[in-house]
Structures are given as structure tokens and as C-alpha cells.
Structure 1
């Protein structure tokens, strides 16, 4: 049984060895058919023995032409950091030190959470190098070790394949998707205007004066700089931006309810990506950002820092956080946030709104928190609940489901309004709008001078 398992491992690119190809099996079948046809006529056993020996010699000669491990040098080039749901290219360099040409097939020992298609057979000329590339599509954040590389070589006759296993250690980090953050850095105004759903224009003259620029259609006429317009003979306008140096504390819930699956990933994945986008906006604005990831216990803490270089510190601290099968301890997270942030700050919690608001004892901690800090909670909308509300009552069962969904939705809104009366606003957004909703609320808070 162990011997069979070892042979099976070799066929599955798990070990080293020599295996026959389809071409060899085809030649063997043709030889067997030829001998079977000749058997209808009389021929000596000596002829059969000589023919068999010659056939075996022909088939086995190809084995001695296959390369050895020391004759082939390989190297793998891979990025140390990869973004989730972003294609990355891995290159394999193969150096043929022999005087013969070979055909090679590659299968890399990448993790199962990486989607990929390996290239087909490649020809590697004698005494030359071959560069083979393929793309991977990482889907789960975390640390991964790529250690094994499997190569199968065959000669131009193509009767046998030799599998050689190389050990090449490469440590890879899969970090959250940064596409939203990159879009914000590319053009913050376009990001907010085209993606925002609850964006309010900045009040005239509010915030710090930034610069004078050319007037474009859509700008507030009240901000036109008439002195500069007359001097330059062109319409110019003042541009303002929120005050810098504020403090933002981001809390990321990693509890049980954050493991609810969405169309792409789960709630925690979207919350982490939204938190990074929000941190990018705040750091780009010159504010201080601290991050706390928690579930039943504190999982990661990033003290307040300033500047875009602090974003890498946040990434390295929270890129591997996972969902715990436990209820979250909100009181512990809030107390820890207050202990590391003594100054007045905006505390934004990414969590499940329904779970949070249904616990009345949370309101006691929030009232105390509200005396010094500005608290905001944001969660992902229950897509299934909204789909049931929008359904047409075509049957008694559908009508009952729609009625229950509407009742649940109304109750949730009533509880959220109750919290808002105490100065604790709560927001819900679709999964694909979570990042832009949090950023727009942060910018609006600064523009209104609430922080």
C-alpha cells in the first residue's frame, strides 16, 4: 500500500521519479498489435524474443538521455506582498546546463487559496536559460510559504518524463485589497463625487485655506477670488480643506457575526479594506490614526501615527486578522481605545449594527464615551433582508416573508434612531459602498467642525 501511494505521489507532482508518457504507451500498444497480427502466421519464438528485446531497448534508451537534478538550475521570483483579489505574476528561471534540448512542464507548490493556471510544456534549448511566467489570484489574506517546485523533463523522443522536485523557500504575505485606497489617493475629489452616496458640499469658507486655482463648472461662486481673477485675467477660486492634526481611532470587529459571507469575501474582509481606505484618507489629510482589531480579546493594536508611511504600519499589523467564532467584547475594545487615546478623537467602529444595538448595556458605555469622543458606528446592510422587502407579494408565503422583513427593518431603524438621539450615529451601507461611505462621513464631520 505504501509503495502504491509513493507511485501515486509521483504521478501527482509530489515526488521525484521517471514515468512513461502517452507516446510510449501508444508505441507499446502498436507493438502489441503487430505481434498479435503476426501470430496468425507461423514465426519462431526466436523472432519474438529478438523483437521484444529490441523494443525494450528502444524504449529504455530514452531514459538515459533525461537530465539529472544537478544539470538543471532553477530560481523563482515572486513578490513578498500580494494584494487580495489582484493578479500577480510569478516567474520561474530554468538554466539548462546540458548539451541537449528538453521539454519541461511546471507545477509550483502554491497554496490552494491561490487561483492559477500553469503554462503548458515549454522547450528549453541546450546551455540556455528559460523564463516561464504564470499569474496567481490570491483570495485569502495571511502568511503563506511557497516551498516546492516540480518540473517534468522529456527529450525530443518524448517516451519518458523525469520529475525533479526543487526546494525554493519564498515567504508571501497576502494583504487586503488596496484598490479603494489607491483610487482615493489618485483623486480624492473624484472618488467622493462619483462613488459617494451621502456626500454634502463643504460650506463656503469652512476649513483651512489651501490654494487658489482656476474656476471650473460646478464650483461655488461665493469662493471666487476676485482680486486674483482681475490680476490674472482669468476666473480663479479659493480652495479650502478640513483642518489637519485631528485624531481618528478605528475599531475593527473580528467577532462571529463578521464572518457572514458576501458575494466577495465576508464582512470582515470588506471592513478591513474600508478601514484601510479610511486610514489612507485621514493620513493623507494630515490627521493621526490609530487602529484596534478585537473580538473576545484584543487582537491587534496600532498606536496613533501621522503621515502616509504610518499606513504600512497599519497594514503589517492587521493584514492577517481573522474571524473568531466568539462574541465580541465591545466594552473591552472601547476601554482600550480610551486608554491609548487620551485626546478627543473620532472613534469609528466597523461591526454588525444589528448585533450591537440589540444589547442595551452597550448604551451605558457609549454615553460615557460620548462625553469626550465622537463615536460613529458603520456596518454592512443585510442584503437578504432588503431583497425580501423589495419582493412582490405573489403568494401567501412570500407575503409573510416580506411582512416579517419589513417589521425587522422598521424595528432596527427605531433602535438606531434611539441611539442617534443620544449622539451616537449609526450608518449602514452596501458592501461595495462601505469604504466610500465611511470616508465621506469622515470628511463631512471635519467640514462641519464637529471634531
Structure 2
């Protein structure tokens, strides 16, 4: 009687654990390679044992009491026999197939292959060791496996943060034959994944560039002032082309209007100065302003390297974190990627003086200096204006300020009333002050951009193409 009583109390605890979904918590934090607890049938059956025990209290010498005890023992015996049907951990193996390099906010396919070598059919729930910074769809799989078989499932995961992550285990929640028991089996399958800024945009840009459809990503064709004279290639005529550049021999041969395209000036330099301080911690469309800045930096770097220019970067906050010397060539993209993928916005005040001192010391040749940052107070705006204007003449400075969409929404509220009126007035004052900052920089010879983070990439590429077309650099 005492034994069944202990089993009954244990059953009640397991039933509470099951009803509160503790097994989902244990699935991630189990200290051992396997763990066994009662399933829904086991918890219900063992809880019934405890109720039968309570029913025998005061009736221990009656026939009914002996029947209740016998029924109690039968349930315990069935549960004990069903416990032996749980497959062992050595009967399972798993493999994971996925790319070790991922792009921020881009879905990536993962394929799991589970092999089962046990003698009995089994029902299980499979769940991969997806990092908390990833979104997985679906999160788990219900699988029925025949003896000595294997199955393949797949899901898509979407990283929401850059950096290095690891997927070390595959979790299997296995049910016993009669569903009295559950067992967690952890199978080691290690994969290291590096999440970089959006790299798939580079492939999309290359595809659209080959088909002359860059307008689909917001890149407009820029009419050149003057003309370079190094012939590059022949291509189909478009409405923006100069009639003087039509190659009539090729047109007659191809029976299609064909123009000569010339190379733009090469061997120029672009240096990105990306603020990684507190001003870049705000988010837009689910990612930080710094992530938008890196996406735009990589896209423009890709475009500039294809043009034959050199590209470098200075990443800073309260100190200079990374410096990538300006170089040309396709390999420079790898240096920029590795320099940026593990940099995150920090809640520190940015030291523009140290960043510009580093620029002055290491970059003496005339360059297009692109500072990507954000301002909301006069102290930072004064520093940005001061240091950018000192570059005029020696370099071509371009200040890129990222907008906060919440300010514009507050300022554009229709018929504000009460607290909304004060909020709209404060937002309008900030936006007016911000406009004066940009105007002052423009009057002092600094190129300035004020864009929403989600529009940064296309606008920055267009600005670069305009600078190249007007031979400002």
C-alpha cells in the first residue's frame, strides 16, 4: 500500500507537470542526455492509482478494498511493462543539412534526417536546437517511424540578429507503446552558423544589373555630365542614352539599336564611417538602424567595387572597433563582411573625434567619406557638422542621417488634441531643427542625406552614381 501511495503522489506531480507544459521547458534545459516522465496516459493512470488508494482508506478489510488494490497493482504493472517499450537513445541518429552562412532577416532552409534502428514502431516529436535569435517555421514535427527506418523533415529559419551562433543538438520526445511514458533523447549534431548583413541583396542587384532592371530596387539611371572615353561594352539602346553613342555597324548587324558604353573613372576611394553608438540602437522594420546601415554599406561597396573603386570602412562608437583599409577587388567584400557581422549597437556615447582622427591618420588620399549616423540633440549635431566640414577640400564628405519614422507620424497627426497636440508640436520642432542642421552642412560644402532606414540602400547607391556621373570625386 505504501509503494502504490508513493507512486500515486509521483503520478500527481507528473500530471501537474504535463498539464503546465513543463516538458517544453525541460526540452531546452535538460541536464542529462535522456529524461523520462509520465505521458498523458501514464499521468492519468497513475493519478487513478492514487485515487484508488484514497478510496481504500477505512475499508482495508473489505472485498471492495482488495479489488481496488488489485486494480491499482494492475495499472502499475501495465505502466511498468510499457516503460520497457521505450526505445533507447542508441537506436536514434540525426543529421542536419543547412548553410553555415546566413543573411539577416532572410529565410534559410534546414533539412533534418532522423534514423531509427529500433525493433518496434515509435511515435516521436522532433525539435531542432534553434537559437533564440532565430524564428523557425514549423518549430517541431510529429513523426511516426517504422522499425529500422528513416525520415526527412525540413523547416525554414529566419535570423533576427547578426553574429555567430551554434546548433548543437536535435531533441526527440519519444512516446512509449501505450503512451504511458515519454522520454527526451538529445542527439549531438553540431553546426556553427554565421549571420551576416543582408548578402542576398547583392545577388539580386547583380541579376537586375545584367538585365537592365535596376529600377525595380529603386536605383535610377543617372545621366552623365561629360563622358569618359574608355570603351567597356556594347549593349541595347535605352531611352536615356545619347544618340551620339549609337554603334551603327553593330545596330545593322544585330538589327537592333545598339550603343557603346564607356567606363567611368576608376581607382577612386570610398570610406564608410559607421556609427555603432547609442544613436543607432533604435529599430525600423524589426532590425536596428545599424543593421540598415550595414546593409546599405555592403550594397554600395559591391557597386563601387564593380566600378573599379577602392572601398574601406571605419566602425566606431566610443572607440574605433574595426578599420578596413581601402582596397579594390572582389576579395574586399569578404573583409567588409567579416568586419561588420559581429558589430552591434552599444549604449555608449560615440567619439566622433577619435573616428575622424583615425581617418586623418590612415586615409590621406582624397576619398568619398560616407558618415552614417543619427542625431537627436544639438551636441552630436554640432560635432558631426564640425568634423565633416573640416574634410571639405581634402575629401568629399557625405553625411547620412537616418530618420525616426515615429517623429514624422507624430508631426503629421490629423487634428491633434490634448497630449497629441503637444507631441505633434515637439516632433515638428525637432524636425525643423533637423532640417536646419542639414541645410547648414549643405551650405558649407558637405553633401547631406536625410532618409528613412528602409530607403537608405537605394538612395545611397543613387547618390554615389550621381557623384560619379558629375565627376565630383
Note whether the superposition's TM-score is higher than 0.5.
Answer: yes
Matches within 5 A, 1:283-432: 283-354=305-376, 359-395=381-417, 398-432=420-454
Greater shift in the superposed pair: 119-128 or 390-399: 390-399
1:219 Cα deviation after fit = 3.7
| Conservation of the 8 A alpha-carbon contact between 1:353 and 1:378 | no
CA-atom RMSD in angstroms: 3.2
SS, match of residue 337 in structure 1: helix
Matches within 5 A, 1:171-190: 171-188=192-209
2: distance between equivalents of 1:122 and 1:216?
Answer: 56
2: distance between equivalents of 1:136 and 1:233?
Answer: 49
1: distance between equivalents of 2:52 and 2:420?
Answer: 71
SS, match of residue 132 in structure 2: coil
Q: TM-score under structure 2 normalisation?
A: 0.84
Task: Label 1:112 to 1:396 Cα distance change in 2 as closer, same or farther (>3 A).
Answer: closer
SS, match of residue 391 in structure 2: helix
Q: Deviations over 1:204-255 (max 9, x none)?
A: 6446432222324454434323344355554222223422221111111001
Report how many residues are paired. Answer: 445
2: distance between equivalents of 1:209 and 1:346?
Answer: 25
Unmatched runs of 5 consecutive residues or more in structure 1: none
Task: Label 1:43 to 1:384 Cα distance change in 2 as closer, same or farther (>3 A).
Answer: same
SS, match of residue 111 in structure 1: coil
1:94 Cα deviation after fit = 2.3
Greater shift in the superposed pair: 374-383 or 228-237: 228-237
2: distance between equivalents of 1:67 and 1:161?
Answer: 10
Task: Label 1:362 to 1:9 Cα distance change in 2 as closer, same or farther (>3 A).
Answer: same
Greater shift in the superposed pair: 54-63 or 70-79: 70-79
2: distance between equivalents of 1:45 and 1:338?
Answer: 93
1: distance between equivalents of 2:387 and 2:71?
Answer: 91
Q: TM-score under structure 1 normalisation?
A: 0.87
Counterpart residue number, 2:26: 12
Task: Label 1:366 to 1:432 Cα distance change in 2 as closer, same or farther (>3 A).
Answer: closer
2: distance between equivalents of 1:125 and 1:184?
Answer: 47
SS, match of residue 371 in structure 1: coil
1: distance between equivalents of 2:121 and 2:91?
Answer: 12
| Conservation of the 8 A alpha-carbon contact between 1:11 and 1:19 | no
SS, match of residue 169 in structure 1: strand
2: distance between equivalents of 1:25 and 1:401?
Answer: 57
2: distance between equivalents of 1:316 and 1:60?
Answer: 56
Unmatched runs of 5 consecutive residues or more in structure 2: 1-9
1: distance between equivalents of 2:181 and 2:24?
Answer: 13
2: distance between equivalents of 1:354 and 1:54?
Answer: 74
User: Do structure 1's residue 210 and structure 2's residue 232 form an aligned pair?
Assistant: yes
Q: 2:86 aligns with which of 51, 66, 88?
A: 66
1: distance between equivalents of 2:410 and 2:228?
Answer: 43
Task: Label 1:413 to 1:299 Cα distance change in 2 as closer, same or farther (>3 A).
Answer: same
Counterpart residue number, 2:147: 126
Task: Label 1:48 to 1:274 Cα distance change in 2 as closer, same or farther (>3 A).
Answer: same
Counterpart residue number, 1:137: 158
Counterpart residue number, 1:111: 131
| Conservation of the 8 A alpha-carbon contact between 2:108 and 2:157 | yes
2: distance between equivalents of 1:94 and 1:219?
Answer: 58
